[in-house]
Structure 1
Amino acid sequence: MVLSRPQENPMKSLSFVSLLFVGLIVGVHGHGVDFYTKECPEARGIVQSTVVAAIKKNVDSAGALWNLHYHDCFVRGCDGSILLDSSHYGPAEKDSGVPDSPKEIAYDIIDEIKYAVEKVCPVTVSCADILTLAARDAIVELGGPEWKVCSGRLDGFISYANESKFYMPGPSADYQTLVQKFALKGLTEMDMVVLSGAHTIGKVKCSVIESSLYNSSGPCGVDPTLDPTYAMELKAQCPIGSSNLVFLDPTGDDTSVNGSSPPPYPGHRRLLATRSAGNTVDKNYYVRVSGKNAKTGRATSTNQNLKVRNSKGTLRSDRNLMSTKSGKALVYREAGFSKKDLASAADKENQPFFNDLVKSMEKLSTLKDPSSPGGEVRCNCRSINL
């Protein structure tokens, strides 16, 4: 089936005068790592300090910010459209009801940053840039790689709930659908597998995975691709009808021994003292998805009747990364397994995952929608300027 974009509401079209004004804004807004050096040199420091403080207060903030950035870029490009509240025209992206929607805590952090930035540099730093920088800083704060983020994005005028439903891959998406959804955004199969690594941190609602635990074709209603031991752990946390949250990657960094941290990644700023199981950016997500032992590279368990390797991927879409030959190869690459099916000693520092993550995040953060009618620098991230 060929995917086609949902039709837009003509009532939301901008007037000719508005479009002309937007054109003037676009003409003077550029891109670059040093974009705010003169206009607002305090901006990046404010973003970083606010993100660090938020994560120290609630470590779940990191995963929420990364998820928010991903949702934003995946619909209309990185234009802050996910931040807009619904209006009388209809529901916005944030109210689409798609599973694994960004958590309110992330919106509150962006509001806090915007308020602080506006006090020193009014109508200068876009919400889209704030969100992109905040996501990068959150990844770094939980042990991930650091990279330079270009600034100069504009905030969009449009946010449609139906577009979010159309573009966002679901938590049960099969491999072909995942590849197709990413391809619509100019992202490759490898980008899809690498960006799925965002599930190395964060939590998911039990309701999202309930069908895999109770209503599938395997024994006791468990999805046959899900490791039975892990399924029992999840059932203990997620009884039927539960509103609890569970970690997407509950074990943290397998390369850390006796509390010691792995060697820092080049350019790495810090490792948060409170980083722990489920709150560390590392390759362990791929080790769990692969169904292999991190040290031996051998399968932890296999369903002999169905001849499928049991994965410890929390979401069905995670486990579906192992459903094709090319998907398996990419998961093994990111997990650091060598061609001989053994853990590669050279990859103990989370490479090549970190190298690949930087490249894919750079691509994600520069996505644009050519059909969007320009943009502005919002005074309030939740609404367009009047």
Structure 2
Amino acid sequence: MKSVSFVSLLFLGLIAGVHGGYSYPPMPLVKFYTKECPEARGIVQSTVVAAIKKNVGSGAALWNLHYHDCFVRGCDGSILLDSSNYGPAEKESGVPDSPKEIAYDIIDEIKYAVETICPRTVSCADILTLAARDAIAELGGPEWKVCSGRLDGFISYANESKFYMPGPSADYQTLVQKFALKGLTEMDMVVLSGAHSIGKVKCSVIESSLYNSSGPCGVDPTLDPTYAMELKAQCPIGSSNLVFLTPPDTSVNGSSPVPYPGHRRLLATRSAGNVPSKRYYVQVSGKNRKKGKDAKSNQNLKVRNSKGTLRSDRNLMSTKSGKALVYREAGFSEKDLASAADKENQPFFHDLVKSMEKLSTLKDPSSPGGEVRCNCRSINL
């Protein structure tokens, strides 16, 4: 059901103006709900685990939803609001990322369970932030510190999503600028692009790169031609199919990458194409190591066209600084590898933790206050 907002809230949204001054100061406490609702974090975690066990794609959907929420008005749960009589909400923006619908139902389930135990205590914004972290940890990725104490915002406009969210065809300069508006660095941008290591995208988003570009047979000249043929087989013209953002690695009997050392392993539910890993950067770079005794030499890296599924992914290779950061996250330079026992996904996981802690604490000081919603889809009346 569509929610109805007060006229005063619409007015507050109008006077908020263009958002700026995003910052990421520490949230109040890591254990914010220890006294008020000690069961909250356990409920979030168990619900997320059950959802991923049922549908492994839930993890990517939750991560994508959290990313979208924080990029518009900060991490305030505005992406969860339904459209009102005053216009379409953020969720109606049509931003063609990975499918997110399943994530809304998971957040609703968590909110209902938490409200039953601790009414009007745990915000939807905190629930979404915790759920995204727990999802990535469950899929074999790293855990990052999640502080709590966010309030839920009152305002959600689709046009703001279109303005602030970088699109799937964004060039490198635009990507850097969009992230800079949030106080995030060029490195943060490249690291957070690693979210495309999991999940799927609609064929309609990449159709122009496969059929309507300037390269041979209509293929984007920056896209690896062999990979383009694979995508065309999955995405005939006009298809509504979904394809992996980073294709599964079937080179080793379809096995998954080694999980982050010491991370919380709850279930053996990881599967190819749904495991956070530095493989995304290897694909985007168009490079592959030669096997054998010279595997560690950068001189033995063969350059190929990019296998980034989205044009924005391939555009990470369009500048010297972008290439350097992609190579770093791919682990091609031995000096950049972390000293952890498991170097399989380093330094990507180490950098991802730092960037996600920044992203998850973004705030917009121009937004008009907040509340703890009873229903994540509508403001309290």
- Mapped to 1, the partners of 2:304 and 2:219 lie a distance apart of 14
**Greater shift after overlay, 254-263 or 160-169?**
254-263
- Mapped to 2, the partners of 1:113 and 1:218 lie a distance apart of 47
Instruction: Call closer, same or farther: CA 1:27–1:115 in 2, change over 3 Å.
Output: farther
Contact 1:194/1:353, CA 8 A, preserved across alignment? yes
1:265 Cα deviation from its structure 2 partner: 2.7
Is 1:340 aligned to 2:335, yes or no?
Answer: yes
1:304 Cα deviation from its structure 2 partner: 19
Instruction: Call closer, same or farther: CA 1:243–1:14 in 2, change over 3 Å.
Output: closer
**CA deviation string 1:191-240 (max 9, x = no partner):** 00000000010100000000000000111000111111111110000000
1:271 to 266, 284, 293: 266
**CA deviation string 1:31-84 (max 9, x = no partner):** xx1100111010000000000100110111000000000000001100000000
Instruction: Call closer, same or farther: CA 1:39–1:27 in 2, change over 3 Å.
Output: farther
- Taking only the aligned residue pairs, the percentage that are identical comes to 92
Greater RCO (CA < 8 Å, at least 6 residues apart): 2
1:293 Cα deviation from its structure 2 partner: 1.1
RMSD (CA atoms): 5.1
Contact 1:154/1:375, CA 8 A, preserved across alignment? yes
- Mapped to 1, the partners of 2:326 and 2:11 lie a distance apart of 47
Contact 2:3/2:82, CA 8 A, preserved across alignment? no
Partner of 2:12: 22
Unpaired runs of at least 5, structure 1:
1-10
1:169 Cα deviation from its structure 2 partner: 0.3
- Mapped to 2, the partners of 1:35 and 1:222 lie a distance apart of 51
1:99 Cα deviation from its structure 2 partner: 1.8
Contact 1:338/1:344, CA 8 A, preserved across alignment? no
1:98 Cα deviation from its structure 2 partner: 2.0
Instruction: Call closer, same or farther: CA 1:58–1:26 in 2, change over 3 Å.
Output: same
Instruction: Call closer, same or farther: CA 1:102–1:73 in 2, change over 3 Å.
Output: farther
Instruction: Call closer, same or farther: CA 1:134–1:27 in 2, change over 3 Å.
Output: farther
Partner of 1:139: 136
- Mapped to 2, the partners of 1:136 and 1:325 lie a distance apart of 32
1:309 Cα deviation from its structure 2 partner: 4.0
Contact 2:52/2:269, CA 8 A, preserved across alignment? no
**Greater shift after overlay, 257-266 or 226-235?**
257-266
1:257 Cα deviation from its structure 2 partner: 5.1
- Mapped to 2, the partners of 1:381 and 1:110 lie a distance apart of 8
Instruction: Call closer, same or farther: CA 1:383–1:300 in 2, change over 3 Å.
Output: farther
- Mapped to 1, the partners of 2:151 and 2:282 lie a distance apart of 38
1:271 Cα deviation from its structure 2 partner: 6.4
1:97 Cα deviation from its structure 2 partner: 1.5
- Mapped to 1, the partners of 2:251 and 2:74 lie a distance apart of 36
- Mapped to 2, the partners of 1:248 and 1:23 lie a distance apart of 35
1:273 Cα deviation from its structure 2 partner: 1.9
**Greater shift after overlay, 20-29 or 128-137?**
20-29
Instruction: Call closer, same or farther: CA 1:262–1:279 in 2, change over 3 Å.
Output: closer
Instruction: Call closer, same or farther: CA 1:306–1:274 in 2, change over 3 Å.
Output: closer
- Mapped to 1, the partners of 2:40 and 2:15 lie a distance apart of 20
Instruction: Call closer, same or farther: CA 1:238–1:158 in 2, change over 3 Å.
Output: same
**Greater shift after overlay, 297-306 or 366-375?**
297-306
Q: How many residues align?
A: 370
Is 1:88 aligned to 2:85, yes or no?
Answer: yes
Contact 2:9/2:155, CA 8 A, preserved across alignment? no
* TM-score computed with the length of structure 2 as normaliser: 0.86
1:276 Cα deviation from its structure 2 partner: 1.9
**CA deviation string 1:290-348 (max 9, x = no partner):** 10115559999999999984011100000000000000000000000116999999874
Instruction: Call closer, same or farther: CA 1:230–1:340 in 2, change over 3 Å.
Output: farther
Contact 2:260/2:342, CA 8 A, preserved across alignment? no
**CA deviation string 1:75-117 (max 9, x = no partner):** 1100000000000010110001222265210000000000011
Unpaired runs of at least 5, structure 2:
20-29
- Mapped to 1, the partners of 2:359 and 2:273 lie a distance apart of 24
Instruction: Call closer, same or farther: CA 1:87–1:189 in 2, change over 3 Å.
Output: same
- Mapped to 2, the partners of 1:381 and 1:275 lie a distance apart of 29
Contact 2:88/2:158, CA 8 A, preserved across alignment? yes
* TM-score computed with the length of structure 1 as normaliser: 0.85
- Mapped to 2, the partners of 1:380 and 1:41 lie a distance apart of 20
Instruction: Call closer, same or farther: CA 1:13–1:279 in 2, change over 3 Å.
Output: closer
Partner of 1:44: 41
Contact 1:175/1:324, CA 8 A, preserved across alignment? yes
1:298 to 293, 297, 304: 293
Instruction: Call closer, same or farther: CA 1:138–1:47 in 2, change over 3 Å.
Output: same
Instruction: Call closer, same or farther: CA 1:308–1:295 in 2, change over 3 Å.
Output: closer
- Mapped to 2, the partners of 1:351 and 1:304 lie a distance apart of 21
Contact 1:22/1:374, CA 8 A, preserved across alignment? no
Contact 1:68/1:102, CA 8 A, preserved across alignment? no
**Greater shift after overlay, 112-121 or 17-26?**
17-26
Instruction: Call closer, same or farther: CA 1:203–1:19 in 2, change over 3 Å.
Output: closer
